[in-house]
Amino acid sequence: MTQPSTNPTDHTLSWLHLTGPGQHRAVVEGLNQITLLWTDSDLSIPIDWPVFDTEKDGKSKNDQLPQMFETARQGGLKPDGVLWD
């Protein structure tokens, strides 16, 4: 798998979008990925990790959340609670 570029001026990947601030303390092109993570405080397991592209599919990361929960439910997870940031 190709590693994402950390060069803020690298425009070679079309699925990168303006995001930030982060590592470079500025708006840079980055991957718009959100992660649904299960944890018991000792162990953390990613359950779903879609890349969202609002310009392409019209869905924000908030629009992605119900589908992510459905993926987790279909996988048999029944959480006691959910935190969303």
Q: Mind listing the pLDDT tens digit for each residue in 50-73?
A: 877 777 788 888 888 888 889 888
Q: For the chain, percent helix, then strand, then coil, each to nearest 5?
A: 20, 20, 60
Query: What are the pLDDT digits (tens) for 7-16?
Result: 656 555 566 6
Please state the pTM of the whole predicted model: 0.56
pLDDT at 55: 75
